[in-house]
Structure 1
Amino acid sequence: MSDHHNKAARWSTGLFDCFSDCKSCCITCWCPCVTFGRVAEIVDKGSTSCGASGALYTLITILTGFGCLYSCCYRSKMRAQLGFKGNSCTDCLVHSFCEGCALCQMYRELQNRGYNMELGWQGNVEEKNRGMGMGPIAPTVEGGMTR
């Protein structure tokens, strides 16, 4: 997400601040696949879609009961991109025991960094191109092929 790593970088909200954004809390409670899919699309910078990521999360959860193992990988990826302290072990523990809260925290973090989570990656790129800045995780739009 950002090439600049701030040693003091931390989550902008706490793990248990779910009710600070009741809308995403409710979505996560009833359809965690939607929250996960939206987060994954932004973290992957559009290389995976919200629908595909959410569907895979749901499939893993239905077949194994451990969708949290998939989502904790995205927490690790997001944490590394943002320069947050931590490790994969704590990411796994957070998602194993507090999956809903962990997904909400990731969602809020991206919102607090200027992403409109409902627009997805491409929608946010288009907003940025219209001059609506997005903060430190802003996407880069590459030009066409050249010889």
Structure 2
Amino acid sequence: MNMSISGPPRSLVVSSYAGEWASGICDCCTDMKDCCFAFWCCPCFACWTTKRFGQCLCLPLLDIFGCIPPVTMSMRASMRHRYGISGNLCRDCVCSTFCLPCVWCQMSREMKNRTLPIVLGDIVHR
């Protein structure tokens, strides 16, 4: 039997934390790897997180041209909508304007918390 797989394995998204973020905006240090990446190179981290969310890799670079980061704000709102997290655009705007690296870290943690591993035999992929 010949089986072919096209493309990388896809992750299953689960809304087990519906209603609230899985972690707070100031819980950056719970994932030190992402925290350091976001602190030392927030634009690269934002692009990497955006790509993992399924959007254009360079989209966050548009935030450079505004005083309120519109892409960060819209990504946060989109993630809230996708995962059923409560909140509003006003809070998204405030967080995106004053806590930019923390917002990107929170969104990265949220995606990690909501993704189940894919098991193929004895190999686990994330």
The two structures have a TM-score, normalised by structure 1, of 0.62
Counterpart code for 1:100:
P
- Residues of 2 paired with 1:7 and 1:112: CA distance? 9
Unaligned regions of 5+ residues in structure 2, if any?
1-11
Task: Give the C-alpha shift of residue 102 in structure 1.
Answer: 0.8
Counterpart code for 2:110:
E
Change in 2 beyond 3 A, CA 1:19/1:36: same
Please tell me whether residue 21 in structure 1 is matched to residue 31 in structure 2: yes
Task: Give the C-alpha shift of residue 128 in structure 1.
Answer: 3.7
Q: Which residue of 2 aligns with 1:89?
A: 90
Q: Which residue of 2 aligns with 1:41?
A: 51
Q: Is the 8 A contact 2:18 2:83 kept in 1?
A: no
Unaligned regions of 5+ residues in structure 1, if any?
116-126, 135-147
Identical residues among aligned pairs (%): 29
Change in 2 beyond 3 A, CA 1:59/1:80: closer
Counterpart code for 1:90:
R
Change in 2 beyond 3 A, CA 1:7/1:97: same
Q: Which residue of 1 aligns with 2:6?
A: none
Change in 2 beyond 3 A, CA 1:108/1:93: same
Task: Give the C-alpha shift of residue 86 in structure 1.
Answer: 0.9
Q: Is the 8 A contact 1:43 1:77 kept in 2?
A: no
Q: Which residue of 2 aligns with 1:124?
A: none
Size of the aligned set, in residue pairs, is 113
Counterpart code for 2:61:
T
Change in 2 beyond 3 A, CA 1:77/1:22: same
Counterpart code for 2:95:
V
Q: Which residue of 1 aligns with 2:111?
A: 110
Higher helix share: 1
Task: Give the C-alpha shift of residue 69 in structure 1.
Answer: 2.1
- Residues of 1 paired with 2:15 and 2:113: CA distance? 17
Task: Give the C-alpha shift of residue 41 in structure 1.
Answer: 1.8
Higher strand share: 2
RMSD: 2.9
Q: Which has the higher contact order (CA 8 A, sep 6+)?
A: 2
